[in-house]
């Protein structure tokens, strides 16, 4: 991913695509370079990662910070598993939107996501994530990177 | 009956809405407006008696006879449903496909029928299973087909949900939805803003109640909802609908007055109504659902597009299955009662082809119908009209600021009202829609229509292109903060300003008069690509080899979906003004992306793959240039007219400071210059090709291009490898006549490179080539020989003097510089002083040789023992006399700017003053000379030094701005890659 020298997106509005961009950088920083698509254990970790966001949204709502809760919900709408089939297709779809520059799903089976970001750029991107998203992205990446 | 989670949340939301002062009355007003009055509701029971439990049927052009009960009939005949006769299913698609006039009413009836058929199929599957088991056939005991009886509550609720699922759609559904969402803070739903309405729902409905501290997955996750779904549910949660539905279901033993409305709404939203039943909502809104089946078949039929969906097979092969909770756990379904079986909606394996057909058909329709460029243009026009609601002063229009008022209007009434508006923008836009007079395409904004950047360093080419691709993708992606289509970006507004500016100048030569021709401003429309194609394909649950698996669409479908999405960002202008618009767009795009800067390096993405060369970061600046030739071909614009306009606008100052946008079209000259410098090999794989030569020349003002091309072609003295060897040989053979000679390069980079070239080409018995000056002196002293130092050229002599200063121990060699660090010992220095030293250069300035000689004399080397020979006199490469004043000024200005940046980075005290001294080559020697390995500093600075150049750009007749653009030199002096900025 290209490193822009101007101000990163402000904390006030974060799109699901921006979140995914941050998440990919954070995953690389955590040492994860690839993820298997629709793998049971990966999907389980993704659900735990979704839980982190849901839990944060809930906390913000309870503490009266509804704007933040709603922003997290914006991200969650793309990333949540389908409630009736359990499919994480929303998450993978959001990841596919990061192609070809930050992510790729190489031939022949397209069943593995490879993070395509340059490591030093990923580090810098991860450092530039505004508060409070920095902690959320880090915790989400930790859940995905490390099996519980 | 107790309510399940989602229904509970809906009840809470209903209570919140009802507590808002004015909410109920506003909603009732809207319901009154469509005829769903309190009086109408009060008469339902009386009307039901007239029906006398008769069944009815209606003929549908897709599904044939659709039969329904008297209760269903009450809903179908209600004003809520009848209103949908005036809401077209596909909005403005009828402007593209004239038969696409079918309405949400027909679609709702169709979904009602398809839901029935899917559930009937489940009944047949369950019956067949029972018979097989009773007959002793081995069946799958773990996945047992079950069904909802035709008289069950679930059967009724899901069929009614099918009828009512679209009641919340406002006229021109997707366009109005987009407007009300985009302007959610300004527009209203009754007494509250759309944002408040939506946020209230999301906070109440979309958040889990508890998550076990985030450790385990226990949350109940709802699907994401559209505004029309929210309005549908809000209407159904009204007291009036509650009374209506009670009357409709009166006498139905399955009716539950405390739960039915909420469950009906949950099903419309695609969510469960009981904890372990995951099947029922999927029938209406899943990967293979009744809604999709109906709209795909109906839309394709209406548009005359044949898509191959074997619907009968879907019906036959779909079923509801009972499974152990463990199956749900394995699928990752949340919040299951582990004591009871779960219900899943599954497709039989033989129905998997039909699943794929649905997916392919859907994408095909997106490409050809829903995202058809004409429809999108019309929708964009309507979007602009709708967006004017918020600021309109026309009282007839102001009321449409409220979603409920808009919802209550029919499409035709709304459009007619807009056409009669006193607000000119609203009137003109809506009249254009009414008369199908849309602007035409000018350009398509996707990566393939953007010219590739020129990256002369081949080692960086791939990584740079990758990052430029990324930036451009961000520019075109609607959701990106950098997007050209974002509200904060002024690309479209500026394109319109440039359009007006250009139009004024083009009036005289037959161009379009923007004031007279165009009914509204701005004339240029930026239509962003869709964010995603229906959230991309979602996998269905398929029963494969007695196991439940997710069956998604294949990768080709996904790629197709991506392509459909990415190629839909378009720019439009009225016919006759398209060429002007394209020129305005080109300028706007170029200027609006100037601030997108980045760095790229030769590092690869994979950390385990070490870089082939030491890591180096280079600056980049994105300046997207449209591929005008491709645009002309693709959109059938008039190329001759465009050329004529461009020429005229150039003379009028439209391109002031932006000469880069005027193509240099002397292909022969470009080709000849490229051939001349073909053998140049700079650092990091710097090679010159035709694109590079062209871009280099295009940086010059148009009237200076012929001159600079002439200088490069005719006056520039370029030595290729053979010339260097020949010149160096001439110089060496003049010196090395008698006795043994020990020859060493004088400088570390170019001298060493020259040594590599000449040591095999110059065969002289008495000359031994060694690797550094210290070794040459040592060998000469030991073997009673002579010292010969050689180099490619000597210009001012500064570098040579410094090398001797290091050799003589007067200073240390600077780090990372082009100097040999070894020092001579006292004996070796004494040897030089006694025996002298000789130099051979392939090319030299007399001044440089004099300076070197003078320095050596100062170091006590006798004048007569110093001998300097060279092949080519560089005084002959001076082009001062050839440089006309304007070109000289331009070259000097560029040279000063790029050199000052370099000096600044090097920490020089007064970089600007220092740069001024060397702006036309060091000491302003104005040479035009290089050889295949390097460029001397005395050559015109702008030809070899990279950097960034500022210039003044005209925005309008009265306004201009200062911009910085990368300066791409033709050649690159060694050690200068780090000063490179890539962009053009």
Tell me what pLDDT residue A7 has.
Answer: 38
Residue from B625, B707, B636 nearest B666 by CA:
B707
How buried is residue B91: exposed, middle or buried, by Cβ count under 10 Å (0-12/13-18/19+)? buried
> What's the angle, vertex CA B606, arms to CA B602 and CA B610, rounded to 5?
60
* Confidence grade of residue B535 (pLDDT, cut at 50, 70, 90): very low
Residues of B in contact with A87 (CB under 8 A): 332, 538-539, 550, 552
* Confidence grade of residue A93 (pLDDT, cut at 50, 70, 90): confident
- Per-residue pLDDT of B1-27, as tens digits, reads 789 989 999 999 999 999 999 999 999
Pair B540, B551: CB distance under 8 Å? yes
* Confidence grade of residue B619 (pLDDT, cut at 50, 70, 90): confident
- In DSSP terms, B743 is beta-bridged to B769, B788
Q: What is the mean pLDDT of residues B897-910?
A: 93
- In DSSP terms, B44 is beta-bridged to none
Between residues A112 and B562, the one the model is more confident about: A112
Range of B640-654, B694-708, B721-735 with top mean pLDDT = B694-708
Mean pLDDT of chain B: 87
Query: What's the CA gap between B282 and B266, in Å, rounded?
Result: 12
* Confidence grade of residue B614 (pLDDT, cut at 50, 70, 90): low
Residue from B944, B874, B892, B945 nearest B712 by CA:
B944
- Per-residue pLDDT of B642-664, as tens digits, reads 999 999 999 989 999 899 899 99
Q: Is the pLDDT of residue B217 over 70?
A: no
- In DSSP terms, B963 is beta-bridged to B951
Q: Are strands B617-621 and B597-601 parallel, antiparallel or unpaired?
A: antiparallel
Helix ranges (H only) for B435-544 are 458-476, 491-506, 514-517
pLDDT above 90: percentage of residues in chain B: 52
Minimal Cα–Cα distance from B277 to chain A, Å?
A: 9
- Per-residue pLDDT of B268-301, as tens digits, reads 999 999 999 999 999 999 888 999 999 999 999 9
Tell whether omega for the bond before A108 is within 30 degrees of 0, i.e. cis.
yes
Query: What's the CA gap between B245 and B253, in Å, rounded?
Result: 14
CB-CB under 8 Å, A4 with B597: yes
Buried b (16+ CB within 10 A) or exposed e, B550-577: bbbbeeebbebbbebbbbbbbbbbbeeb
A110 in contact with B at a CB cutoff of 8 Å?
Answer: yes
* Confidence grade of residue A5 (pLDDT, cut at 50, 70, 90): very low
- Per-residue pLDDT of B415-454, as tens digits, reads 999 999 999 889 988 999 999 988 888 888 877 788 888 8
Minimum-distance CB partner of A3 among B286, B287, B598:
B598
B447 in contact with A at a CB cutoff of 8 Å?
Answer: no
Q: How many CB atoms lie under 10 A from the CB of residue B22? A: 11
Residue with tokens 């009204």: B238
A123 in contact with B at a CB cutoff of 8 Å?
Answer: no
Residues of B in contact with A97 (CB under 8 A): 477, 532
A66 in contact with B at a CB cutoff of 8 Å?
Answer: yes
* Confidence grade of residue B367 (pLDDT, cut at 50, 70, 90): confident
CB-CB under 8 Å, B203 with A69: yes
Helix ranges (H only) for A30-148 are 40-62, 66-79, 89-96, 119-128, 133-145
**Dihedral of CA B721/B722/B725/B731: which sign?**
negative
B598 in contact with A at a CB cutoff of 8 Å?
Answer: yes
Buried b (16+ CB within 10 A) or exposed e, B288-303: bbbbbbbbbbbbbbbb
What number of helices (H) and strands (E) belong to chain B? 41, 24
ipTM: 0.89
- Per-residue pLDDT of B225-254, as tens digits, reads 899 999 999 999 999 999 999 999 998 999
Minimal Cα–Cα distance from B702 to chain A, Å?
A: 32
Tell whether omega for the bond before A132 is within 30 degrees of 0, i.e. cis.
yes
A2 in contact with B at a CB cutoff of 8 Å?
Answer: yes
Residue with tokens 């033993």: B253
Tell me what pLDDT residue B537 has.
Answer: 63
Minimum-distance CB partner of B598 among A2, A33, A85:
A2
Half-sphere exposure of B710 (CA within 13 A, CB side): 10
- Per-residue pLDDT of A30-63, as tens digits, reads 989 889 887 888 888 998 899 899 989 999 998 9
Residue with tokens 């033709």: B970
Tell me what pLDDT residue A139 has.
Answer: 94
Residue from B258, B196, B197, B265 nearest B237 by CA:
B265
Tell me what pLDDT residue B551 has.
Answer: 79
A111 in contact with B at a CB cutoff of 8 Å?
Answer: no
Pair B288, B106: CB distance under 8 Å? no
CB-CB under 8 Å, A118 with B604: yes
CB-CB under 8 Å, B537 with A89: yes
Minimal Cα–Cα distance from B309 to chain A, Å?
A: 23
A137 in contact with B at a CB cutoff of 8 Å?
Answer: no
Q: Are strands B540-544 and B318-323 parallel, antiparallel or unpaired?
A: unpaired
CB-CB under 8 Å, A102 with B470: yes
- Per-residue pLDDT of B788-814, as tens digits, reads 999 988 988 888 999 999 999 888 888
Residues of A in contact with B214 (CB under 8 A): 48, 51-52, 54-55
Residues of B in contact with A18 (CB under 8 A): 479-481
Minimum-distance CB partner of B481 among A18, A78, A117:
A18
Query: What's the CA gap between B727 and B585, in Å, rounded?
Result: 52
Tell whether omega for the bond before A100 is within 30 degrees of 0, i.e. cis.
yes
Token pair of B636 as six digits: 């059938």
Residue with tokens 């040591």: B759
Q: How many CB atoms lie under 10 A from the CB of residue B918? A: 21
Element (H, E) at B870: strand B866-873
Tell me what pLDDT residue B566 has.
Answer: 58
Query: What's the CA gap between A73 and A50, in Å, rounded?
Result: 11
Residues of A in contact with B599 (CB under 8 A): 2-3, 5
Tell me what pLDDT residue B593 has.
Answer: 74
* Confidence grade of residue B899 (pLDDT, cut at 50, 70, 90): very high
A63 in contact with B at a CB cutoff of 8 Å?
Answer: no
A59 in contact with B at a CB cutoff of 8 Å?
Answer: no
Minimum-distance CB partner of A110 among B270, B555, B605:
B555
Q: Is the pLDDT of residue B694 over 90?
A: yes
> What's the angle, vertex CA B815, arms to CA B809 and CA B817, rounded to 5?
90
**DSSP label at residue B370:** I
Q: Is the pLDDT of residue B555 over 70?
A: no
Minimal Cα–Cα distance from B803 to chain A, Å?
A: 38
**DSSP label at residue A16:** H
Tell me what pLDDT residue B564 has.
Answer: 59
> What's the angle, vertex CA B192, arms to CA B191 and CA B197, rounded to 5?
135
Binding-face residues of A in 18-47 toward B, CB within 8 A: 18, 33, 38, 40, 43-44, 47
- Per-residue pLDDT of B113-152, as tens digits, reads 999 999 999 999 999 999 999 998 888 888 999 999 999 9
Residues of A in contact with B550 (CB under 8 A): 38, 85, 87
Query: What's the CA gap between B183 and B169, in Å, rounded?
Result: 17
């Amino acid at each position: 991913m290209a490193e822009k020298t101007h101000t990163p997106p402000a904390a006030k509005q974060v799109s699901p695509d921006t979140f995914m961009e941050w998440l990919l950088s954070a995953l690389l920083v955590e040492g994860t370079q690839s993820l298997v698509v629709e793998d049971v254990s990966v999907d389980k970790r993704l659900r735990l990662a979704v839980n982190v966001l849901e839990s944060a949204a809930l906390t913000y709502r309870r503490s009266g910070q509804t704007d933040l809760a709603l922003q997290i919900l914006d991200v969650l709408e793309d990333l949540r598993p389908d409630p009736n089939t359990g499919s994480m297709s929303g998450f993978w779809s959001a990841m596919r939107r990061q192609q070809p520059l930050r992510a790729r799903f190489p031939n022949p089976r397209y069943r593995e996501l490879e993070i395509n970001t340059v490591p030093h750029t990923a580090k810098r991107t991860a450092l530039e994530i505004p508060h409070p998203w920095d902690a959320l992205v880090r915790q989400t990446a930790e859940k995905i990177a490390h099996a519980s | 009956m107790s309510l399940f989670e989602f229904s509970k949340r809906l009840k809470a939301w209903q209570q919140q809405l009802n507590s808002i002062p004015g909410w109920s009355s506003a909603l009732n007003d809207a319901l009154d407006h469509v005829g769903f009055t309190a009086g109408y509701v009060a008469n339902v029971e009386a009307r039901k008696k007239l029906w006398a439990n008769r069944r009815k049927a209606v003929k549908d052009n897709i599904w044939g006879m659709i039969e329904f009960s008297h209760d269903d009939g009450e809903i179908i005949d209600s004003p809520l449903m009848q209103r949908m006769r005036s809401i077209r299913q596909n909005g403005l698609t009828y402007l593209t496909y004239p038969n696409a006039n079918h309405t949400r009413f027909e679609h709702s009836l169709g979904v009602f029928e398809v839901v029935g058929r899917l559930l009937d199929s489940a009944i047949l599957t369950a019956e067949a299973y029972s018979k097989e088991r009773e007959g002793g056939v081995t069946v799958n005991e773990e996945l047992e087909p079950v069904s909802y009886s035709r008289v069950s509550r679930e059967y009724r609720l899901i069929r009614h949900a099918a009828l009512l699922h679209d009641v919340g759609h406002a006229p021109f559904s997707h366009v109005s939805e987009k407007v009300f969402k985009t302007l959610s803070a300004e527009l209203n739903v009754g007494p509250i803003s759309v944002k408040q309405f939506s946020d209230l729902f999301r906070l109440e409905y979309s958040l889990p109640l508890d998550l076990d501290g985030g450790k385990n997955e226990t949350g109940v996750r709802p699907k994401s909802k559209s505004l029309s779904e929210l309005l549908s549910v809000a209407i159904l949660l009204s007291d009036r609908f509650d009374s209506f539905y009670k009357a409709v279901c009166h006498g139905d033993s399955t009716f539950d007055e405390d739960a039915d409305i909420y469950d009906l709404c949950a099903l419309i939203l695609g969510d469960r109504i009981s904890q372990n039943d995951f099947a029922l909502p999927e029938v209406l809104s899943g990967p293979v659902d009744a809604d999709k089946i109906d709209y795909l078949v109906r839309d394709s039929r209406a548009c005359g597009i044949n898509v191959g969906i074997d619907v009968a097979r879907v019906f036959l092969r779909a079923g509801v299955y009972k499974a152990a909770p463990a199956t749900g756990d394995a699928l990752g379904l949340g919040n299951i009662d582990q004591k009871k079986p779960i219900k899943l909606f599954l497709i039989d394996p033989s129905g998997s082809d039909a699943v794929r057909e649905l997916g392919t058909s859907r994408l095909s329709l997106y490409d050809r119908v829903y995202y058809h460029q004409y429809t999108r243009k019309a929708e964009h026009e309507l979007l602009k009209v709708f967006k004017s609601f918020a600021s309109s002063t026309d009282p007839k229009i102001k009321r449409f600021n409220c979603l409920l008022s808009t919802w209550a209007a029919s499409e035709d009434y709304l459009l007619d009202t807009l056409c009669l508006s006193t607000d000119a923008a609203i009137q003109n836009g809506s009249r254009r829609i009414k008369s199908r007079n849309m602007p035409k395409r000018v350009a398509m904004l996707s990566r393939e229509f953007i010219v590739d950047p020129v990256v002369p360093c081949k080692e960086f080419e791939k990584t740079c292109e990758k990052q430029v691709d990324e930036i451009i993708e961000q520019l075109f992606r609607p959701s990106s903060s950098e997007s050209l289509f974002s509200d904060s970006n002024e690309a479209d507004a500026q394109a319109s300003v440039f359009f007006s500016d250009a139009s004024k100048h083009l009036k005289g030569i037959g161009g379009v008069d923007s004031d007279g021709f165009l009914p509204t401003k701005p004339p240029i429309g930026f239509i962003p690509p869709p964010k995603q194609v229906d959230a991309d394909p979602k996998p269905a649950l398929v029963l494969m080899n007695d196991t439940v698996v997710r069956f998604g669409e294949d990768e080709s479908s996904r790629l197709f979906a991506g392509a459909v999405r990415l190629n839909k960002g378009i720019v439009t202008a009225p016919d006759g003004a398209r060429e002007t618009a394209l020129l305005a767009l080109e300028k706007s795009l170029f200027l609006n992306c100037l601030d997108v800067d980045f760095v790229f390096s030769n590092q690869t993405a994979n950390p385990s793959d070490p870089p082939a060369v030491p890591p180096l970061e280079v600056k980049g600046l994105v300046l997207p240039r449209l591929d005008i030739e491709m645009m002309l071909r693709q959109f059938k614009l008039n190329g001759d007219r465009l050329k004529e306009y461009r020429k005229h606008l150039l003379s009028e100052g439209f391109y002031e400071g932006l000469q880069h946008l005027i193509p240099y079209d002397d292909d022969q000259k470009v080709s000849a210059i490229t051939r001349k410098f073909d053998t140049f090999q700079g650092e990091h794989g710097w090679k010159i090709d035709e694109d590079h030569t062209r871009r280099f020349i295009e940086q010059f003002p148009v009237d200076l291009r012929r001159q600079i091309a002439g200088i490069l072609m005719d006056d520039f003295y370029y030595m290729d490898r053979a010339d260097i060897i020949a010149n160096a040989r001439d110089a060496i053979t003049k010196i090395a006549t008698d006795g043994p000679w020990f020859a060493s390069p004088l400088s570390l980079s170019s001298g060493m490179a020259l040594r590599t070239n000449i040591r095999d080409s110059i065969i002289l018995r008495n000359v031994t080539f060694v690797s550094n000056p210290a070794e040459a002196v040592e060998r000469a002293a030991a073997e009673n020989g002579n010292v010969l130092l050689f180099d490619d050229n000597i210009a001012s002599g500064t570098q040579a003097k410094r090398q001797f200063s290091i050799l003589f121990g007067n200073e240390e060699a600077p780090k990372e510089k082009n100097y040999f660090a070894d020092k001579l010992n006292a004996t070796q220095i004494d040897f030089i002083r006694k025996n002298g030293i000789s130099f051979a250069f392939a090319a030299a300035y007399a001044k440089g040789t004099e300076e070197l000689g003078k320095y050596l004399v100062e170091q006590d080397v006798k004048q007569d023992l110093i001998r300097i020979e060279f092949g080519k006199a560089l005084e002959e490469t001076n082009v001062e006399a050839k440089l006309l004043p304007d070109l000289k000024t331009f070259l000097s200005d560029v040279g000063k700017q790029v050199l000052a940046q370099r000096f600044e980075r090097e920490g020089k005290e007064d970089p600007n003053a220092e740069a001024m001294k060397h702006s036309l080559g060091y000491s302003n020697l104005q040479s035009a000379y290089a050889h295949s390995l390097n460029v001397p500093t005395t050559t015109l600075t702008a030809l070899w030094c990279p950097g960034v150049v500022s210039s003044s750009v005209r925005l309008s007749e009265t306004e201009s701005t200062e911009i910085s653009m990368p300066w791409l030199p033709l050649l690159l002096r060694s050690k200068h890659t780090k000063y490179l900025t890539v962009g053009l």
